[in-house]
Structure 1
Amino acid sequence: MYKGLKFTAVAACVAGALGMSASVYAAPTHDKAVIGYLTQWEAWKGTDAGFSVKGEATHLNVDMDIYSILNFSFFGVAKDGSLHSGDLRNKNIYQDGSVQEPGPLLHPDVYSSWDFHILWGELEYIHEFPGNEPWQADQLAKVQAQGFVKDGRGWKHAPSGVTGQMPIPLKKAGGAPGLIDLANQKDVKVMASIGGWSMSKHFPEMAANPAMKERFLADIDRLMALGFHGIDIDWEFPGSGGMNFTGTDVDYANFEQLMDDIRARIGNDKLLTAAFKAVPAALEGYDWNRLSNSMDYFNMMTYDLNGGWSNLTGHNSPLYPYPEEEFDGLTLDDLRVWMQARGIPSNKINFGAAFYGRGVQTKEATAYLGAPTDKRTVNFSVDGPTSSSVDLDNWKAFEGQPNYNYIIKQNGWEHFWDANAEVPYAVKGKYFLSYDDEEAIRKKAEYVVNHDLGGIIVWQVHGDIQCEGTFINHGSKLKECTNLKSPLAQQIDNVFSANVLPNEAPVISVPGAQAADSGQVISFVVSAVDADGDALSFTAAGADVVDNGDGTATVTYKAPNTATDLTDTVTVVVSDGRRSDSASVTVNVTGSGVVENTAPVLNAPASVDVTAGDATVISVSATDADGDALTFAASAGVVAQNGNSATITVSTVDSDKDSVISVVVSVNDGAASADATVVVNVKGNAGPVNGSWDKDTIYNTGDKVTYNGVEYTAKWWTKGETPGSSSVWEAFDDGSAQTWSAGKVYVGGDLTIHKGNTYKAKWWTKGDMPGSAWGPWEQQ
């Protein structure tokens, strides 16, 4: 799709009348999609979120010479299948049993919502519907010209069916245009985006219920009547579920049918797109051929791949795999390979660019990539109480997801570049931040060009804006910057507008099968050619490589020590910096008949501490001199292995007593093993002690007091009953022998001390003094 700047003399005059900057930017001539999400809530944010003023984050401050499509986000799905304004989202939807009630398509209160200000622009308020009196003629003509009719005590916009309360939100003559009007001037498409993380709960039932779906499609008609150029579906997520709902396999077919139904409803001249989870396992259930017939773009959310839910620090949006990743396959490159292997049209695939970061806290004094995260219960504004390691100390206003334009203003962070994943990250003490900078965004744009993909989706367009000018006020809410910069978006535009031809991948040549004896070192030469003449680099898995500088490389391989014959494989990769090629060389290793194996070396902490009821993560690693594949195991807990490292998550039972769990961790190379014992010190969760017992204080169940040096817990409501002499109080018992108490219940095996002697109870007893030969006590 070619998007040029259609800024004619008439349009320039209109811009001047509206107070808009008439600067003409270089219009993109590329055919890549640049899709930006524009949210209705970002406009509320001000200086605490990196913006200059509240109201800066609207459509008036988006460089529409960069974006080809803008997704207005979000409309939600109600329990009856109808659509509602995102401002009417049920904020308790995360709770079990919560549902989304139906509501207006656009929030009718122009004072508490940005819906009309963004979609219709600068407004003129009419507080009473005009009558037929002569003095009302001018107002009545304006109201009727914009399609408003009286509807009870409110109004109705006849073309779209949108209704609302007073005042009537008229588009102000000569005022700043709304999103769709401004986009039409710039030849930009505007999509109505439906769903999102917190408003997808009713998607599955709507897509499966014909009556609910018909209400949904009727509201699609209303959106199109408002002037939207298409529909974007953000059902999070078919098949796997989202906030407060689960997915099933039938979701996939229902999603495909829904796309067919929407396409039939909006026609072939409108756009239909959807956002997809960037995890191959969640994409297997789709019929991609069917989706390709009905949809224009597949918007892959290649961000949020690591965050507060992760056990190890990782990248939010990695381009390539990296050794420290917790789970394999969660990168842009992995997803592209998976999608193209299934024949999904490359020109319909758009990859995500994150204009924000994700911050977490770790268990280490100094954070690093791959460090164990430190989780606790956090009460998020959207997700509610959730176990997360999110960093709220540095990014509280963003709940751990700061915009790029805020990140770059912060001091005290040490920034690094991961050459494997090709993204940056930063650390400050125990805190870790993953984000994308200009270099990372540029590389993602180049990747899209090099692999002939459709384009890029941006979450979200205001994440990188920087106002370097002054603001023009358009009414009470809309602010327009006279000199706007978008450094991340500009990187995308620079790459896509550079007339860069798709890069040809280099081609590697390798020799045939090689032979080696057990433990022998052999070498062989590989070569490669590149049609573009790019400089090449070689790497190999399981071998060392020396680049000869002439398009060849020498690969040195050491055969494992083996008693039996085996076949090994050396995979060699050549890269031109953008694309790569690989080939494998088979090595037939002749066994020695003698087993020579070096046991692996295990690295594990001696002990870890945890509070009873919580879970702790033990991080271990191992090395093997023979380079054998390693397998970790543990006597307790859940083991998650990542290469030669592993984490063991050990859960504990809530208790007020201290205890110890001995976890034996072992690593095996297939022939020998090494083990270590990690002591988990479980601190009892005793709860607070409410001071010394007071006869005039009321105590409730669970309250704790001390009396005569002994700690007691109330078993029910009590007042004035002395601990040690009343059954309402239970004395704390850590298992050691304590001075005998007449008010305490003892069972068989319990120990006590009386007059300097230790006694053991032979059976249940209370009030029986130790020392009687025929009583329940036996002297030790």
Structure 2
Amino acid sequence: MQKGLNLSKLAGVVTAILMAGVASTAQAAPAHNKNVIGYLTQWEAWKGANEGFSVKGEATHLNVNMDLYSILNFSFFGVAKDGSLHSGDLRNKSIYQPNAVQEPGPLLHPDVYSSWDFHILWGELEYLSQYPVNEPWDAENFRKVQEQGFVKNGSGWLHQPTGITGQYPIPLKKVGGAPGLIDLAHQKGVKVMASLGGWSMSKHFPEMAADPVKKARFLADLDKLMALGFDGIDIDWEYPGFGGMNFTGNPEDYANFEQLMEDIRKKIGPNKLLTAAFSASTAKLEGYNWPRLAASMDFFNMMTYDLNGGWSNVAGHNAPLYPYPEEEFNNLNLDTLRNWMAVKGIPSNKINFGAAFYGRGVQTTEATAYLGAPTDKRTVNFSVDGPTLSSADLDNWKAFDGQPNYNYIMQQSGWAHQWDASAEVPYAVKGKYLLSYDDVPSIEKKAQYIVDNNLGGVIVWQVHGDIKCEGTFINRGPMLKECTKLSSPLAEAIDRVFSGGTVPNNAPVLTVPGTQAANSGQVISFIVSGTDADADPLSFTAVNATVVNNGDGSATVTYQAPNTATDQQDVVKVTVTDGRKNVTKNIVVHVKGSGVENNAPVLTVPATVTVDSGKNAVISVSAQDADRDSLTYKTSVGTVAVTATGADIVFTAPVIQTETTVDVVVTVTDGQATDSATVTVKVKGAVTGTWDANVVYNTGDRVVVNGVTYEAKYWTKGDNPEQSGPWGPWKKV
């Protein structure tokens, strides 16, 4: 460290430089309480007129309507073979080849001429081709580098506030210039996260998560990301347990992923966001311990797109909302995934579903393409995946590797646009080519689905897919362009549905007491209060405590300290909400230990329980505690009713047609130690009833005709079971 350099003071100076010349702006993030998380890539900015944009440099942070987004994910940073993080612009473009690896590299690409990293993250720049000297003739430049924290570092420079290094020229943030992504977003009340991985940079995730040394390097680099100002970490490991580009998965990936989430949470602290992108295939989700993930993570970002494409054997939808007759594989749609996650007991407010601001085109073997038509595959050399057998349409969408942005799709002619009433998404046909995409009506339906099912919100891939500049461009330095009037029809559609015509909402203000103290096992209470500028009614909740609303804008929080032999620190998290916006604060509790060691309770549960579709299952459990402590039972699914010998877990089985299983995780605690066990609930499938020619039936549905029960072998409507075809006699197992 340079002698005499005060980093705290320096941080303030750098902030002042970033904010200079920028008008003060009121919070402009969405007024509703749903998540709208947009991925912003560092490579999209290179695209110009051939890809549907007006100019190169249009697709940057300066052309994102931040009134429409609550979180932006800067994508991507990659994981190198030693576990360290590197700029996505430094990824090994041959990583698809056997035995290829990713070498370590700088966190931000050091060349400002060949990368957008600094332009997007730091904003409008001015360059210094060499480090200035402390002489009168160079005094102005010397003052700038000192104020912004740049020092010499070998043949290049070091930015001391962040630890970022680079080569010349020095990328100075221009005083009064356009701000970078993080600063601009924070002015607008929008959070920015660092997204790590992605399809082409996930190869080294499994080995990093399994190796303590490599994971230590990974976690150390998170400090650099936090120093850059990011509000959290988003993990895009594609995919634990299954593998991805040039690597295979293994069963240990799931537990390693869960441990990695806990390690990241510990590293970044409780006030930063932690999310991850997950596959929409339930087969790739079964291996996770969802209660464990829910304890450490804020949101689960489900990639409900890329469900069909050039790899498919028949032409299907990129992002279907519901099942449809022509689908190649069952269960690859948003509705099926939501129902699966509900059965698993995954908190709905943590679930964000994908909104595709792009489409996928394929060529078929038919003269006129249609849903379900056989695809026509050949070897294609993709820019990312390399040589691959694919039916991707490169005749119409070559610049996009068959995945055109919505704004480019809307500029094309000659396509017959159609609507699939089953999947509730559009598609288009031109000769042998079929394009699956989302438009304003389908995006509105998905947004309404999220509202109706009380889900967290959406993730958008990616924010520049729907933008259109309807004004003129202002040059912001050598590379950035800022549009004076921007249109984002798909993002605007999401906002309309989520806002529901409501007026802008002010977040409530929460007041909590300072640090509390309690003895081992002691119950203490304290008062919290809230105010709201809109005079909305307020409600209070707490984690690690109970809350009673006093009806006067305050609430009484009651906390029971754990039975602990040693001193420890606990946290009570209190949240106040006006129904649309939440505010959360932590109250630290210092718990004084009793000096007496505690024995963990021992839980006893049945291995399996069987229940009919839609009926209640009662799981009787019990526990023994050598210390005779008071015990509390919890369940991942259902409700808990205390009994004389333990507790009954009451679980309402989902209404299903074919037999399935639901894992119910039961936990008992004495306030200090816990014991958990999993009960497998076998849910018997229901018989649909008398066959109706006007009803759509899916695989596994059962009907009765003339006293005989039949089971559907695949999707059917109007086919009489007595005449076979899609039906077969049901045989009870």
User: What TM-score, normalized by structure 1, do the two folds share?
Assistant: 0.64
> Aligned pair in 2 of structure 1 residues 149, 447: CA closer, same or farther (>3 Å)?
same
Q: Which residue of the partner structure matches residue 660 of structure 2? A: none
Q: Which residue of the partner structure matches residue 118 of structure 1? A: 120
Matches within 5 A, 1:201-212: 201-212=203-214
Q: Name which of structure 1's ranges 80-89 and 132-141 shifts more when overlaid on structure 2.
A: 132-141
- Structure 2 distance, partners of 1:571, 1:196, is 47
What secondary structure sits across from 1:80 in the alignment? coil
What secondary structure sits across from 2:199 in the alignment? coil
Q: Which residue of the partner structure matches residue 273 of structure 1? A: 275
* Of 323, 329, 332, the match for 1:330: 332
* Of 415, 418, 438, the match for 2:417: 415
What secondary structure sits across from 2:131 in the alignment? coil
Report if the CA contact (8 A) 2:321-2:423 is conserved. Answer: yes
Say yes or no: does 1:493 pair with 2:495. Answer: yes
> Aligned pair in 2 of structure 1 residues 334, 574: CA closer, same or farther (>3 Å)?
farther
What secondary structure sits across from 2:283 in the alignment? helix
Q: Which residue of the partner structure matches residue 244 of structure 2? A: 242
> Aligned pair in 2 of structure 1 residues 624, 486: CA closer, same or farther (>3 Å)?
closer
1:28 to partner: Cα distance: 2.8
Q: Which residue of the partner structure matches residue 138 of structure 2? A: 136
**Amino acid in the other structure paired with 1:434:** S
1:487 to partner: Cα distance: 0.2
**Long gaps (5+) in structure 2:** 1-14, 503-578, 581-613, 615-656, 658-686, 696-700
Report if the CA contact (8 A) 1:191-1:230 is conserved. Answer: yes
What secondary structure sits across from 1:272 in the alignment? strand
Say yes or no: does 1:352 pair with 2:354. Answer: yes
1:27 to partner: Cα distance: 5.8
Matches within 5 A, 1:244-263: 244-263=246-265
Q: Which residue of the partner structure matches residue 300 of structure 1? A: 302
Q: Which residue of the partner structure matches residue 745 of structure 1? A: none
What is the root-mean-square deviation in Å for CA atoms of aligned residues? 3.1
- Structure 2 distance, partners of 1:591, 1:289, is 42
- Structure 2 distance, partners of 1:17, 1:128, is 26
Q: Which residue of the partner structure matches residue 157 of structure 2? A: 155
- Structure 1 distance, partners of 2:19, 2:161, is 26
**Amino acid in the other structure paired with 1:253:** A
- Structure 1 distance, partners of 2:261, 2:99, is 28
Report if the CA contact (8 A) 1:568-1:589 is conserved. Answer: no
**Amino acid in the other structure paired with 1:477:** M
> Aligned pair in 2 of structure 1 residues 242, 568: CA closer, same or farther (>3 Å)?
closer
What secondary structure sits across from 1:310 in the alignment? coil
- Structure 1 distance, partners of 2:169, 2:29, is 39
Q: Which residue of the partner structure matches residue 569 of structure 1? A: 689
Q: Which residue of the partner structure matches residue 339 of structure 1? A: 341
Report if the CA contact (8 A) 1:362-1:371 is conserved. Answer: yes
Report if the CA contact (8 A) 1:568-1:588 is conserved. Answer: no
- Structure 2 distance, partners of 1:290, 1:573, is 45
Q: Which residue of the partner structure matches residue 575 of structure 2? A: none
Report if the CA contact (8 A) 1:30-1:499 is conserved. Answer: no
Q: Which residue of the partner structure matches residue 52 of structure 1? A: 54
User: What TM-score, normalized by structure 2, do the two folds share?
Assistant: 0.68
Q: Which residue of the partner structure matches residue 77 of structure 2? A: 75
Say yes or no: does 1:482 pair with 2:484. Answer: yes
> Aligned pair in 2 of structure 1 residues 154, 464: CA closer, same or farther (>3 Å)?
same
**Amino acid in the other structure paired with 1:314:** G
Report if the CA contact (8 A) 1:161-1:222 is conserved. Answer: yes
> Aligned pair in 2 of structure 1 residues 159, 365: CA closer, same or farther (>3 Å)?
same
> Aligned pair in 2 of structure 1 residues 287, 46: CA closer, same or farther (>3 Å)?
same
> Aligned pair in 2 of structure 1 residues 356, 133: CA closer, same or farther (>3 Å)?
same
- Structure 1 distance, partners of 2:102, 2:723, is 54
1:137 to partner: Cα distance: 2.3
- Structure 2 distance, partners of 1:343, 1:426, is 37
Superimposed CA distance per residue, residues 366-394 of structure 1 (whole angstroms, 9 cap, x where no aligned partner) = 00011110001101111011110000000
Report if the CA contact (8 A) 2:474-2:483 is conserved. Answer: yes
- Structure 2 distance, partners of 1:384, 1:203, is 21
Superimposed CA distance per residue, residues 582-611 of structure 1 (whole angstroms, 9 cap, x where no aligned partner) = xx997584479xxxx9xx9xxxxxxxxxxx
> Aligned pair in 2 of structure 1 residues 136, 432: CA closer, same or farther (>3 Å)?
same
Q: Which residue of the partner structure matches residue 570 of structure 2? A: none
**Amino acid in the other structure paired with 1:275:** A
What secondary structure sits across from 2:58 in the alignment? coil
- Structure 2 distance, partners of 1:414, 1:626, is 36
Q: Name which of structure 1's ranges 431-440 and 126-135 shifts more when overlaid on structure 2.
A: 126-135
Say yes or no: does 1:369 pair with 2:371. Answer: yes
Report if the CA contact (8 A) 1:315-1:434 is conserved. Answer: yes
- Structure 1 distance, partners of 2:702, 2:78, is 54
- Structure 2 distance, partners of 1:499, 1:288, is 35
> Aligned pair in 2 of structure 1 residues 373, 585: CA closer, same or farther (>3 Å)?
closer
Aligned length, in residue pairs: 528
1:145 to partner: Cα distance: 1.2
- Structure 2 distance, partners of 1:113, 1:438, is 33
Q: Which residue of the partner structure matches residue 446 of structure 1? A: 448
- Structure 1 distance, partners of 2:181, 2:437, is 29
Superimposed CA distance per residue, residues 361-419 of structure 1 (whole angstroms, 9 cap, x where no aligned partner) = 00000000111100011011110111100000000110100000000110100010001
> Aligned pair in 2 of structure 1 residues 120, 492: CA closer, same or farther (>3 Å)?
same
- Structure 1 distance, partners of 2:215, 2:694, is 51
1:429 to partner: Cα distance: 0.3
1:571 to partner: Cα distance: 8.0
* Of 239, 263, 287, the match for 1:285: 287
- Structure 2 distance, partners of 1:574, 1:120, is 60
> Aligned pair in 2 of structure 1 residues 26, 253: CA closer, same or farther (>3 Å)?
closer
Say yes or no: does 1:464 pair with 2:479. Answer: no
Superimposed CA distance per residue, residues 42-101 of structure 1 (whole angstroms, 9 cap, x where no aligned partner) = 000000000000000000000001000000000000000000000001000000000000
What secondary structure sits across from 1:369 in the alignment? coil
**Amino acid in the other structure paired with 1:450:** D
Q: Which residue of the partner structure matches residue 314 of structure 1? A: 316
1:569 to partner: Cα distance: 2.9
- Structure 2 distance, partners of 1:572, 1:113, is 61
What secondary structure sits across from 1:198 in the alignment? helix
- Structure 2 distance, partners of 1:371, 1:458, is 29
Percent identity, aligned pairs only, is 71
Q: Which residue of the partner structure matches residue 522 of structure 2? A: none
Matches within 5 A, 1:513-662: 569-570=689-690, 587=704, 589-590=706-707, 626=721, 630=725
* Of 376, 397, 407, the match for 1:405: 407
> Aligned pair in 2 of structure 1 residues 203, 26: CA closer, same or farther (>3 Å)?
closer
What secondary structure sits across from 2:57 in the alignment? coil
1:134 to partner: Cα distance: 2.4
1:138 to partner: Cα distance: 1.9
Report if the CA contact (8 A) 2:363-2:392 is conserved. Answer: yes
Say yes or no: does 1:391 pair with 2:393. Answer: yes
1:628 to partner: Cα distance: 5.4
**Amino acid in the other structure paired with 2:180:** G
- Structure 2 distance, partners of 1:72, 1:591, is 58
> Aligned pair in 2 of structure 1 residues 425, 381: CA closer, same or farther (>3 Å)?
same
1:132 to partner: Cα distance: 2.1
**Amino acid in the other structure paired with 2:162:** S
**Amino acid in the other structure paired with 1:431:** Y
Structure whose CA Rg is larger:
1
> Aligned pair in 2 of structure 1 residues 574, 85: CA closer, same or farther (>3 Å)?
farther
Superimposed CA distance per residue, residues 456-511 of structure 1 (whole angstroms, 9 cap, x where no aligned partner) = 00000000000000000011110000000000000000011116899xxxxxxx9x
